[in-house]
Amino acid sequence: MPRDDRSKLSRRAWITTTSGVIAAGLVRTQSDAIRLVAEEAPPQVADPTKVPGRLVSGVGSRAPAEQPERLIRAEALSSSSRTPLADLMGTITPADLHFERHHGGIPDIQLENHELLVHGMVDRPMVFRMSDLMRYPQVSRTHFLECSGNGGGVYSQTRMPTEVTVQAMDGLLSTSEWTGVPMSTILREVGVRRGASWILAEGGDAAVMSRSVPLDKVMDDSLLAYGQNGERIRPEQGYPLRLFNPGYEGNTSVKWLRRIEVTDQPTHTRDETSKYTDPLGDGTVRQFSLMMDAKSVITFPSYPYVLPEQGWWELRGLAWSGRGRITRVEVSTDGGRNWVDAALQGPILSKSTVRFRHLFDWSGSDTLILSRATDETGYVQPTVEQLWEARGPRTSYHQNHQRAWKIARTGEVTFGLGEMV
């Protein structure tokens, strides 16, 4: 609309409004009408080029309109909060949005008082203060962390839900740059004895979370992590020290780490017998299912988004694998009958998330969209039927089946896995 027309419209609207309030007897004079209209008008946003902005501050903040939050499932000592995956860009999760999973609440631990005991089948049992660990050469690596129960709530339901968000379904996943000392460095310092094959990692929380981890894994790429995304690990992520096992289920990356015992067998603690084991369809139980297999999820479009019109849209999502790098992501826009390769956004790192994208032309009809990931070992993300056949429907752990979203003719997007089983 030309500027003059907008001006005329604005004046016309003002005259109509002021005349209306006078005629209604709400005010007696034109001056009263002007004052009333001014009071009820929406606040005017100052031209940022005409007024000074805010001053610098000690800690930055998000824009008022951008306030993503974790999803809290329950107010309990043993609970979780979930990352808003659909609200984020790139692959790195801001530290304050990294998912939480606690078994006894978040302990209050002081940096200067915290110690790590390393003992067991070693030549030189040692106690390390945080100041000691900080003297060792440090490394930084970007990896995902995923709870083994991620997605299990959807998988285990007898009737698949439709109104479920990416955050509620797969929000127990986050990616960070982790900084610390390689576990191999510390184990060489204490001297691992012949015959040792496992370690026990013990946390300093109220639950005394404890997990057994194969020694080969620990010597390969595990970290004693004290940094995350350029800062000290936050209390909910294990401050001041956690074990980090890239590609393994999250509970093995024990937080508030206080003890490492080198052993010749798994310890079979409460946390790896009564839980974090996978009941199978034949009545047996899968134990030490530590690796997180290849997985992907479309984050856009997803529930509760509504496509306002047909035409070209960019499908976006995340893929990851505990086995190594993602080499391929395929997407289907016809319920899995046909698949095409999605574009992967680099850098593609080992045991880290990768963004994938694909342009598709939505015709305005009912559509079922899916993704499936392949990693460098050749492992392909299975269908839910394949997963049920292999493991049965009884477990809620390691649910890496293909996810589906249904786009209705109205443009409404809902979880669509129920359309396929």
- The CB-based long-range contact list for 400-403 (8 Å cut-off, 24+ gap) reads 400/151, 400/292, 400/293, 400/294, 400/295, 401/151, 401/155, 402/296, 402/336, 402/370, 402/371, 402/372, 403/151, 403/169, 403/170, 403/296, 403/297, 403/298, 403/370, 403/371
Q: Between the CA of residue 156 and those of 80, 151, 331, what are the distances in Å?
A: 18, 9, 24
Q: Give the chain's end-to-end CA distance (angstroms, integer).
A: 52
Residue that wins the pLDDT comparison between 204 and 394: 204
Contacts of 218 (CB under 8 A, 6+ apart): 183, 184, 187, 199, 245
SS3 label, residue 418: helix
Specify the pTM: 0.87
Q: Where are the alpha helices (DSSP H) in 345-421?
A: 384-391
C-beta atoms surrounding 197 within 10 Å: 14
DSSP state of 249: B
Higher-confidence residue of 16 and 262: namely 262
What distance in Å separates the CA atoms of residue 370 and residue 358, rounded to the nearest whole number?
12
Residue 78 has pLDDT above 50, yes or no: yes
pLDDT for the residue 31: 62
Q: How far apart are CA 336 and CA 330, in angstroms?
A: 10
Q: How far apart are CA 189 and CA 201, in angstroms?
A: 17
pLDDT > 90? residue 208 = yes
DSSP state, residue 1: -
Given a cut of 70, is residue 360 above it in pLDDT? yes
Largest CA distance in the chain: 97
Q: How far apart are CA 174 and CA 91, in angstroms?
A: 8
407 has a pLDDT exceeding 80: yes
Residue 278: pLDDT band (50, 70, 90) is confident
Average pLDDT, integer, range 414-421: 79
pLDDT tens track for 173-201: 999 999 999 999 999 999 999 999 999 99
115 strand-pairing partners = 129
**44-56 mean pLDDT:** 88
In the predicted model, what is the mean pLDDT of the chain? 90
Q: Give Cα separations from 58 to 61, 65, 75 (angstroms).
A: 10, 21, 31
CATH class of 295-419: mainly beta
Neighbouring CB atoms inside 10 A of 322's CB total: 23
Half-sphere exposure of 4 (CA within 13 A, CB side): 0
The CATH number of domain 77-280 is 3.30.1240.10 = no
Give the pLDDT band of residue 25 (cuts 50, 70, 90): low
DSSP letter string, 291-337: B---EEEEEES-TT-B--SSEEEEEEEEEE-TTS-EEEEEEESSTTS
Residue 20 pLDDT:
52
Domain boundaries, the chain: 77-280, 295-419
- DSSP letters, 147-178, are -TTTTHHHHT-SS--SS--HHHHH-SEEEEEE
| Closest by Cα among 294, 266, 270, 263 to 376 | 294
With a cut of 80, say whether residue 9 has pLDDT above it.
no
Q: Which two tokens stand for residue 137?
A: 């050469």
Q: Which two tokens stand for residue 18?
A: 């002021």
* Residue 407 tokens, joined: 């786009």
The pLDDT of residue 340 is above 50: yes
Residue 153 scores a pLDDT above 90:
no
Q: Does the CA dihedral 134-139-140-145 come out positive or negative?
A: negative
Q: Which of 276-285, 291-300, 306-315 has the lowest mean pLDDT?
A: 276-285
